[in-house]
Amino acid sequence: MGGQPDSVPETLLVKIARLVEERGWNQEDFARITNLNRQTVRQILRNEGRKLRNVTVQACAKALGLTVSELRALPLERLLPRMHGQPAPDGEDALRRLLEQAVQPELRSWIERNPDRARLLSEAERDELLSLQGDGGPLSRFGVEQFIELIERKRRLLERVQAVAATEYLGLLEQFVGLVYEKVQPGR
């Protein structure tokens, strides 16, 4: 249920407390920055095993300069360098940018559930996906998963075409693509 608290693994509380410590913030600072109740912050930082609502995890992640999926999924040893201004691991910056630009709730939810697949999207694929957002748009009507699967199918097909193009079958590939292209060519 939407308003019910999620069960949070103890490691998430430990990560939040350690990252707050790395920032040099005390309980007062963290409560002010996250706009959370002081009691909630005290329980988080003392690792009192409480259950956190998604909105609380989101406030903590935002204050720490992370996405919810980064905070939940990445181990502490990968998050600590980020606190000191070091670059994100490969794919993390792209994932963060995608999450920042995803305004449609269904897309944000898919990204948070599938961070590994989202990291594999090329810049052009991310742009294509982001262009499909909007009320009543394709992502709403047909679903994010359907479009991601289509993007992944196109990627696999292009990889196969490139592999064939590097062989003695290039001429055959050119003929086949030429025939199909004549059938689907725009404006005909």
Q: pLDDT tens, 58-79?
A: 898 888 887 777 788 777 777 7
Alpha helix ranges (H) inside the chain: 10-23, 27-34, 38-45, 54-63, 68-73, 76-83, 92-101, 105-113, 115-119, 123-131, 138-142, 144-165, 170-184
pLDDT band for position 9 (cuts 50, 70, 90): very low
Q: Is the pLDDT of residue 2 over 70?
A: no
Q: Is the pLDDT of residue 177 over 50?
A: yes
Q: Is the pLDDT of residue 176 over 90?
A: yes
CA 177, 181, 184, 186 dihedral sign is positive
- How far is C-alpha 108 from the geometric centre of its chain's CA atoms? 7
Encoded tokens for 47: 């690792």
| All domains in the chain, ordered by first residue | 10-83 (1.10.260.40), 92-184 (no CATH)
Q: Count other C-beta atoms under 10 Å from residue 104's C-beta.
A: 18
Mean pLDDT, the chain, rounded, equals 82
Q: Are 144 and 107 a contacting pair, CB within 8 Å?
A: yes
User: What is the Cα–Cα distance from 49 to 19, expressed in whole angstroms?
Assistant: 17
In sequence order, which residues have a C-beta less than 8 Å from that of residue 168 and are 6 or more positions away?
A: none
pLDDT confidence of residue 77: 76
Closest CA to 48 of 4, 3, 16, 70: 16
What mean pLDDT comes out for the span 123-145?
85
Q: Count other C-beta atoms under 10 Å from residue 159's C-beta.
A: 10
What mean pLDDT comes out for the span 108-122?
87
The number of residues making up the chain comes to 188
Encoded tokens for 95: 């994932």
pLDDT confidence of residue 149: 93
What mean pLDDT comes out for the span 168-173?
92
